Amino acid sequence: MWRPAERIKYAAEPGRWPTREEAKQSLLFQPLALGRNGQCRLNERTWVPAMVPWRATEDGIVTPDILDWYRRFAQGRPGAIVVEATGIRDIPSGPLLRIGHDRFLPGLRTLTETVRKASGGYTRLFIQIIDFLSIRRRPKRERYLNEFLRIQPYHIDKINVSQSVPEAKIRAALVDMSDDELIEVLDEREWEALQYGARERVTDTELAHIRDLPRKLPGLFADAAGRAREAGFDGVELHYAHAYTMASFLSSLNTREDGYGGSLEGRVRLPVEVFEAVRDRVGDDYVVGCRMLTEDCLNGGMETDEAAFFASRLAAQGMDFISLSRGGKFEDAKQPKVGWAAYPYTGPSGYECMPSYYSDAKGPFGRNLQPAGQVRAAIRSAGLDTPTVAVGGLHNFEQAERVLADGEGDIAGLARQALADPDWFEKVRSGRGDEVRLCLYTNYCEALDQRHRQVTCELWDRENLQEKGIAMSRDGKRRLVAPRWKK
Residues marked as catalytic: 244
Show contacts with ligand SF4 in window 407-446 (CB under 6 A): 416, 419-420, 439-445
Minimum distance, C-beta of residue 426 to ligand SF4, in the bound complex (Å) = 17
Distance CA 270, CA 276 (A): 10
Q: Does 455 bind ligand FMN (CB under 6 A)?
A: yes
Q: In the set 182, 288, 333, 394, which binds ligand FMN (CB under 6 A)? A: 394
Minimum distance, C-beta of residue 259 to ligand FMN, in the bound complex (Å) = 27
Q: In the set 128, 251, 294, 456, which binds ligand FMN (CB under 6 A)? A: 128
Distance CA 202, CA 132 (A): 10
Contact residues for 456 (Cβ-Cβ < 8 A; gap 6+): 445, 448, 473, 478, 479, 480
442 binds, among ligand SF4, ligand FMN, none (CB under 5 to 8 A by kind): ligand SF4
391 binds, among ligand FMN, ligand SF4, none (CB under 5 to 8 A by kind): ligand FMN
Minimum distance, C-beta of residue 58 to ligand FMN, in the bound complex (Å) = 18
**Comparing C-alpha atoms, which of 287, 285, 229 is closest to residue 42?**
287
Is residue 73 within 8 Å of residue 482, measured between CB atoms? no
What are the backbone angles phi and psi of residue 292, rounded to the nearest 5°? Answer: -140, 175
Q: Does 458 bind ligand SF4 (CB under 6 A)?
A: yes
Q: Give CB contacts under 8 A, 24+ apart, made by 148-157.
A: 148/193, 148/198, 149/174, 149/186, 149/190, 149/193, 149/194, 154/187, 155/185, 155/186
Residue with Cβ nearer ligand FMN (185 or 445): 445
Question: Which range binds ligand FMN by CB under 6 A, 195-203, 411-419, 456-464, 467-475?
Answer: 411-419
Pairing state of beta strands 235-240 and 124-130? Answer: parallel
Show contacts with ligand FMN in window 219-258 (CB under 6 A): 241
Residue with Cβ nearer ligand SF4 (428 or 457): 457
Pairing state of beta strands 411-413 and 32-34? Answer: unpaired
Q: In the set 295, 408, 423, 446, which binds ligand FMN (CB under 6 A)? A: 446
293 binds, among ligand FMN, ligand SF4, none (CB under 5 to 8 A by kind): none
Residue with Cβ nearer ligand FMN (306 or 449): 449
Show contacts with ligand FMN in window 47-66 (CB under 6 A): 49-52
Is residue 29 within 8 Å of residue 453, measured between CB atoms? no
For the chain, the distance separating the N- and C-terminal CA atoms, rounded to the nearest angstrom, is: 37
Minimum distance, C-beta of residue 421 to ligand SF4, in the bound complex (Å) = 9
459 binds, among ligand SF4, ligand FMN, none (CB under 5 to 8 A by kind): ligand SF4
Is residue 353 within 8 Å of residue 8, measured between CB atoms? no
Distance CA 334, CA 348 (A): 9
Residue with Cβ nearer ligand SF4 (321 or 441): 441
3-state helix, strand, coil in the chain (%, to 5): 40, 10, 50
Distance CA 444, CA 47 (A): 22
Q: Does 354 bind ligand FMN (CB under 6 A)?
A: yes
Q: In the set 65, 84, 223, 408, which binds ligand FMN (CB under 6 A)? A: 84
**Comparing C-alpha atoms, which of 352, 407, 311, 308 is closest to residue 45?**
407
Show contacts with ligand FMN in window 367-386 (CB under 6 A): none
Question: Which residues sit at the interface with ligand FMN, rule CB under 6 A?
Answer: 49-52, 84-85, 128, 241, 291, 325, 353-354, 391-394, 414-417, 445-446, 449, 455
Site residues (vs ligand SF4, CB under 6 A): 416, 419-420, 439-445, 457-459
